[in-house]
């Protein structure tokens, strides 16, 4: 399984008055991890968008185990969880410096036309992405 490990230092602005990371910031961290995962496997999201398509999130699931706190460095682990040719699901886990699990989650994405927002097939518009994702899933990711 290919996993991307991205470290993020918890910034003060990401926390509440108690020094605990606000729950919404985990989605931002998921995006950072996802972008780095895509780069790691040799793809480029900006190049995909240049083909007049985008890949919005259609579902996000998060499970909070333990809070991240100001001053910590966390690691976002990101992997390809599922791909069926239409939907792409990324998996995530966030751990602190002591390897304690803080958050787990997934995001589900589809590829749509930037103009109409109608779904398009990744294998048609970006066969390289389709090939890499299919290969990763078939290898038992």
Specify the pTM.
Answer: 0.94
Q: Can 16 be counted among the known catalytic residues?
A: yes
Dist CA 43 CA 55 (whole Å): 14
According to CATH, the topology of domain 4-138 is: Thiol Ester Dehydrase; Chain A (3.10.129)
> pLDDT grade, residue 139 (50/70/90)?
confident
Statement: residue 96 has pLDDT above 80 = yes
- Per the residue annotation, which of 16, 59, 84, 128 is the catalytic one? 16
In this structure, the strands spanning 87-95 and 57-64 are unpaired
């Amino acid at each position: 399984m290919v996993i991307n490990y991205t470290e993020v230092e918890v910034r003060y602005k990401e926390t509440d008055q108690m020094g605990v990371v606000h729950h919404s910031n985990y989605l931002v961290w998921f995006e950072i991890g996802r972008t780095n995962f895509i780069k790691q496997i040799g793809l480029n999201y900006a190049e995909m968008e240049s083909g007049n398509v985008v890949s919005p999130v259609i579902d996000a699931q998060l499970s909070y185990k333990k809070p991240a706190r100001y001053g910590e460095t966390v690691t976002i682990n990101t992997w390809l969880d599922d791909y069926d040719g239409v939907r792409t699901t990324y998996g995530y886990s966030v751990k602190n410096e002591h390897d304690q699990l803080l958050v787990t989650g997934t995001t589900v994405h589809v590829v749509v036309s930037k103009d109409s927002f109608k779904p398009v097939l990744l294998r048609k518009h970006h066969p390289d992405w389709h090939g890499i994702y299919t290969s990763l899933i078939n290898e038992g990711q």
